[in-house]
Amino acid sequence: MKIAMLVPGLRPHDAVSNDVRGMSAALREDGHEVAVFAPHAQGVDEVVRAPEELSGWLDRRDGVLVYHYCVGWDFAFEAMRNTRARRVLRYHNITPPEFFADWSPGYVTACAGGRQELDGFAAMGCDLYLGASPYNNEDFTRRGVAPERCESVAPFHEIEQLLELRGKAERIPQGVPLWLTVGRLAPNKAYLELVDAFAAAVALDPARPPHLLIIGKLDPNLSLYGEALQARIAGFGLEPHITILQDADGAELRAAFEHATAMVMLSRHEGFCVPLVEAMALGAPIVALGSSAIPTTVGDAGIVWDSDEPHLVAATVARIGRDGELRANLRERGRARYADTFANAVLAQRLRRIMQRFAAP
Amino acid sequence: MEPSDDYLQRVKAEILAEAAAAQERAPLPRRDPPPRGNTTSALDACGIERNRLDYHIAELTGEQYVAFVEQAYRAILKRPGDEAGRNNQINHLARGASKAEILGNMRWSAEGRQVGVRIRGLLPRYLLAKLTRIPVVGHVIDWFATLAGLPVLLRHQRSADAVAAARFGELTAAMRAIGQRLDQLDVELATAGNAVAQLEQRVFGSAQLQQQPMDARLGVVETRLADHIRSVDELRHFFYAGNHWLTTVQRNFADLERISDEQRRRIELLVAGVNESPEAISARSDRHARWSAELGARLNPGARVLDLGSGDGSWLAALAARGIEASGIESSTPLAQAAAARSLAVAAGDPLAALERCSDGSLDAITLSAAGLCGGATALLRLFDATARALARPGWLFVRIEAEPRRPDSDIAADGARWQALLAAAGLDEVSLIESGEGSLVIARCMAAVARTSPSSQ
């Protein structure tokens, strides 16, 4: 069967790009002919065709067009509407624009434009709505899409490659309790609230203050948010206790997870949150706010709260730091959940079962 | 609920109690609200208007070349242009892309969509530019668009004529004013002359003595007036000559472009014909067998090879016969189609661009079948950079020098010794040259380490 993957762009170490490559590899292993179409591709080991070639390549009704929907893109919307092939909407979610109000008018416009396409895709009647999480599928069931047309498969990832690396810890703070969080510096990730919680932790134990390590990049278009984060850190006088690494490589990421007392994720909106799965695989206990897709991603493999009250988050990390039994229990749960639910082989098996519905035209 | 969940529930209850106690013991200090967007200045440290998201296309098309591209980056992507991206856009301009197409490509890229700048007047121009890129149909659309634009061009021409005529009229009026002024001066001179004469008669009685310098001054004024009138005539002549010259240049450029396109199509058809003659095929097969043996001695079966400038694909067939996993890129569409028809993995496209899109260390060898591809310094630098990045360690670069290259216009297309020297100078080792009557093969090994970009988490 011919399967076309359509994606706005491919680049290394990007969650959507990893998913495209992982899905393509899994489907090729099942004997399907898979081609990837994208307007931009850099540094990825994948033959990429121009989107304009899509209609010529996929010209049969028994083919399948998989569109990775993560941003507004009118070309893809028209391609999905006009294709003769069967349609699969792989939905990675789009951050609601209100998170960017006061920080970036451009992000507000782009996110609003992207989410406006939700109504069109829901009305389009795709053959399958393949969310990265059950939470993502709610965007379509709320718009009248039948639940039997919705399935979820977690994103494919590069964690196997991360597990093969040797950790590089030169820039990783050591000898103190280490709070770790991973993700781009954006308002929906709630870094200001994270600093509040961290300040509470420092106030709890000023004699042996913990350290907060943030691994993630700041988009220059969100520079206002970066300035606000620096101001919040300075307001608490926490500069010596917080490190932000915007250029960490895989080896440093692995070392950070290995040295972390806990992976703290207070994000307000996540379509899936791959860093949580990285924490499970690499043995970092998880403390998270139960927003958006986070509860279904974490499951029973971490401590999830309905509140991000600073003292509650601080007390949770402090408890993990001094309670060896709890630490070992959470690590064991994380590794088990990764192996049983999120390993690429498990995802490939689930994808295979779902795609069987397209076996006969 | 399972026992393990009981355990977590118990721990969470204990943590809740600890948190409540900690809140009493060490309340958080008061914090200031974060700064908001409307408190910052319009321009940031890089001179970029981050909060401005609405432009008219005329604001972005006034600059030329590098300044135009840099302005587009700052307005549309809200950042300074990076070197690779800027060069790419400048190359597009040099290849004849319109400014609207450049702006549209940036605006509707994934990055541009994220910024979300609105450019009034861009969309229809961008759509038209994209339509003209469609094979055959696009050419027809381009013709029609050009024909449709003729009235506008004529209007622009008439406008230019009107402006020139207006300027000419202004000059004539100025000259007329000068003439009137000179007339006034003449009158004043005459008056002065009379006054002087009267004065001379009245005071000194030497009118004749004073009249001579006044006559000389009058003569100078008359000479200047004649010069001005001559200048106006010359200016008018230059204007007419310049206008004629511009029209001729435009016509010549159009003829040159049409002849160039026709020649390119003929050359491609001729090359395809010559390559498919039985004699050429026979000679090529022998040569390729010898050269593929050289490759086979250095590569294992299953090695990944990318061939640049594959022609009709006969070289790829020789590699495949040795169990090498080879694919190729050919810039000539007829040749690439002929190879594809033979079930060979040859795609039509820009070979160097295809090499640059390969990931780091993904190839065991690169063969350069059309050495003339790298006829210029820029192309050579692109080849060496991309080769050093895309080859595994060790990796091999093979440059095939045909006795009768497909692009004889390039000065190094058939010069194996020069290639040998260039590769050695570029830092590749074990550079060797195998020469024969029908051409030669330059072989080089790449061993040097290459800096890798660091991954990020999200």
Please report which helix (H) or strand (E) contains residue A243, including its range: strand A242-245
Is it the case that residue A137 has pLDDT exceeding 90? yes
Sequence spans of domains, chain B: 43-131, 140-272, 278-446
Q: Name which residue leads in pLDDT, A27 or B5.
A: A27
- At position B413, the amino acid (one-letter code) is A
Q: How confident is the model at residue B320 (pLDDT cuts 50, 70, 90)?
A: confident
Q: Are residues A125 and A12 in the same domain?
A: yes
CATH architecture assignment, domain B278-446:
3-Layer(aba) Sandwich (3.40)
pLDDT at A230 over 60: yes
Q: Kindly identify which residue of chain A lies nearest to residue B38, measuring between CA atoms.
A: A102
Tokens of B364: 């065991």
Mean pLDDT, chain A, integer: 93
- The reply to whether residue B28 touches residue A310, judged by beta carbons under 8 angstroms, is yes
Q: Give the CATH number for residue A258.
A: 3.40.50.2000
Is A212 a domain residue?
Answer: yes
The whole-angstrom separation of Cα B128 and Cα B57 is 15
Indicate yes or no: CB of A319 within 8 angstroms of CB of B18: yes
The alpha carbon of residue A146 is apart from the nearest alpha carbon of chain B, in Å, by 31
Residue of B53, B110, B453 with shortest CB distance to A43: B453
> Could you report the per-residue pLDDT of B27-85, keeping only the tens digit for each?
766 555 555 544 444 666 677 877 778 888 888 887 788 889 988 998 888 888 877 78
Asked if residues A287 and A264 have their Cβ atoms less than 8 Å apart, the reply is: yes
- pLDDT surpasses 90 at A320: yes
Of A220, A314, A319, the CB nearest to B78: A220
Shared domain for A220 and A97, answered yes or no, is no
- Note whether B455 contacts A326, CB cutoff 8 Å: no
Q: State how far residue B388 is from chain A, nearest Cα, in angstroms.
A: 14
Same domain, A89 and A227: no
**Exposed/middle/buried for B213, CB within 10 Å: 0-12, 13-18, 19+?**
exposed
Identify all chain B residues contacting A312, using CB atoms and an 8 Å cutoff: 15-16, 19
Are A80 and A87 in contact by the 8 Å Cβ rule? The answer is: yes
pLDDT recorded at residue B457: 31
Same domain, A244 and A224: yes
pLDDT band at A124 (very low <50, low <70, confident <90, very high): very high
Token output for A287: 């403390």
Chain A nearest-CA distance from B432, in A, is: 30
| Nearest CA-CA partner of B319 in B332, B331, B304 | B304
Q: Are B382 and B352 in contact (CB under 8 A)?
A: yes
A306-310, A350-354, B205-209: least confident range: B205-209
State residue A25's pLDDT score: 95
Query: What is the DSSP secondary-structure string of A251-296?
Result: HHHHHHHHH-SEEEE--S--SS-HHHHHHHHTT--EEEE--TTHHH
Over 70: is that where the pLDDT of B408 sits? no
- d(Cα A91, Cα A234) in Å, to the nearest integer? 38
Q: Which of residues 94-153 of B touch A (CB under 8 A)?
A: 109-110, 113-117
A246 → chain B, closest CA residue: B456
Q: Give me the number of domains chain A comprises.
A: 2
Of the two residues A110 and A270, the one the predictor is more confident about is: A270
Determine, for residues B457 and A248 on separate chains, whether the beta-carbon distance falls below 8 Å: yes
How far, in Å, CA of B312 to CA of B335, rounded? 5
Give the mean pLDDT of A277-303.
Answer: 96
**B458 — pLDDT class (breaks 50, 70, 90):** very low
Q: Does A132 lie in the same domain as A11? A: yes
Name the most confidently modeled range: A97-111, A132-146, B304-318: A132-146
Q: What pLDDT, on a 0 to 100 scale, did the predictor assign at position B451?
A: 37
Question: Which residue's entry shows tokens 């020297």?
Answer: B421
Do A128 and A171 fall within a single domain?
A: no
SS3 A69: strand
CA gap B179, A50 in Å, rounded: 69
Could you tell me the pLDDT band of residue B203, with boundaries at 50, 70 and 90? Answer: confident
Least confident of A64-68, A89-93, B6-10: B6-10
CA neighbor of B92 nearest in space, from B447, B353, B369, B442: B353
Q: Which of A41, A105, A314 sits opposite B357 (nearest CB)?
A: A41
Which chain A residue has its CA at the smallest distance from B357's CA? A42
Domain that holds residue A129: 2-156
Same domain, A198 and A115: no
Q: Name the more confident of B292 and A287.
A: A287
Are residues A50 and A150 located together in one domain of the fold?
A: yes
Q: Per-residue pLDDT for B450 more than 50?
A: no
Tokens of A43: 């540094």
Amino acid sitting at position B237 = H
Question: Rounded to a whole number, what is the distance in Å from the CA of B58 to chain A's nearest CA?
Answer: 21
Residues of chain B contacting residue A182, judged by C-beta atoms under 8 Å apart: 457-458
> Is residue B343 over pLDDT 90?
no
Please tell me whether residues A284 and A244 are part of one structural domain. Answer: yes
Rounded CA-CA distance B360/A131 in Å is: 32
Contact A106 B78 (CB under 8 A): yes
Contacts of B339 (CB under 8 A, 6+ apart): B310, B311, B312, B313, B316, B328, B330, B346
pLDDT one-digit tens code per residue, B131-176: 887 888 888 888 887 888 788 778 878 877 887 888 888 889 999 9
Rounded to the nearest angstrom, the minimum Cα separation between A76 and chain B is 12
A77 in the same domain as A120: yes
B31-45 pLDDT, tens digit each: 555 555 444 446 666
Q: Which amino acid is at A207?
A: A
CB contact under 8 Å between B456 and A235, yes or no, is no
Query: Encoding tokens for residue A303?
Result: 């401590």
Contacts of A223 in chain B (CB under 8 A): 44, 50
For residue B45 the two structure tokens come to 């440290």
The whole-number pLDDT of residue A202 equals: 93
If asked whether residues A93 and A224 sit together in one domain, one would say: no
Task: Quote the crossing angle between the two packed helices B122-131 and B99-107, to the nearest 10°.
Answer: 100
pLDDT score recorded for residue B2: 45
Q: Do A223 and B44 touch (CB under 8 A)?
A: yes
**pLDDT beyond 50 at B1:** no
Which one of B6, B15, B39, B88 makes the best mutation probe of the A interface by having the most chain A beta carbons within 10 Å?
A: B15
Query: Which of A162, A224, A327 would you mutate first to test chain B, the one with the most B CBs within 10 A?
Result: A224
Scan residues 59-78 of B and list those with Cβ closer than 8 Å to A: 78
The DSSP bridge partners found for residue A2 are A33
Q: Which of B23, B109, B455 sits opposite A13 (nearest CB)?
A: B455
Judged by phi (left if over 0) then psi (alpha if -120 to 50, else beta), residue B361 lies in left
Mean pLDDT of chain B: 81
Residue-level length of chain B: 458
* Nearest Cα to Cα of residue B354 among B327, B372, B314, B381: B327
Q: Which of B28, B113, B116 sits opposite A200 (nearest CB)?
A: B28
Claim to verify: residue A106 and residue A181 sit in the same structural domain? no
What's the pLDDT at B411?
58
Query: Could you tell me if residue A224 is inside a domain?
Result: yes
Chains A and B form CB pairs within 8 A to the count of 158
Structural domain ending residue among the three candidates A111, A136, A156: A156
Assigned token pair, A218: 């700041």
* pLDDT value, residue B404: 59
Q: Which among A277, A280, A294 has a CA at the least distance from the CA of A134?
A: A294
State the DSSP code for A214: E
Which of A37, A214, A221 should be substituted to probe chain B, the one whose Cβ sees the most B Cβ atoms within 10 Å? A221
- Residue B453 tokens read as 């970009």
| 3-state DSSP of chain B | CCHHHHHHHHHHHHHHHHHHHHHHHCCCCCCCCCCCHHHCCCECCCCCECCCCEEEHHHHCCCCHHHHHHHHHHHHHCCCCCHHHHHHHHHHHHCCCCHHHHHHHHHCCHHHHHHCCEEECHHHHHHHHHHCCCCCHHHHHHHHHHHHHHHHHHHHHHHHHHHHHHHHHHHHHHHHHHHHHHHHHHHHHHHHHHHHHHHHHHHHCCHHHHHHHHHHHHHHHHHHHHHHHHHHHHHHHHHHHHHHHHHHHHHHHHHHHHHHHHHHHHHHHHHHHHHCCHHHHHHHHHHHHHHHHHHHHHCCCCCEEEEECCCCCHHHHHHHHCCCEEEEEECCHHHHHHHHHCCCCEEECCHHHHHHCCCCCCEEEEEECCHHHHCCHHHHHHHHHHHHHHEEEEEEEEEEEECCCCCCCCCCCCCHHHHHHHHHHCCCEEEEEEEECCEEEEEEEECCCCCCCCCCCC
pLDDT single digits (tens) A253-289: 999 999 999 999 999 999 999 999 999 999 999 999 9
- The ipTM, to two decimals, is 0.88
Binning pLDDT at 50, 70 and 90, where does residue B410 land? Answer: low
Among A214-223, B153-162, B191-200, B248-257, the range scoring the smallest mean pLDDT is B153-162
pLDDT average, residue stretch A231-258: 94
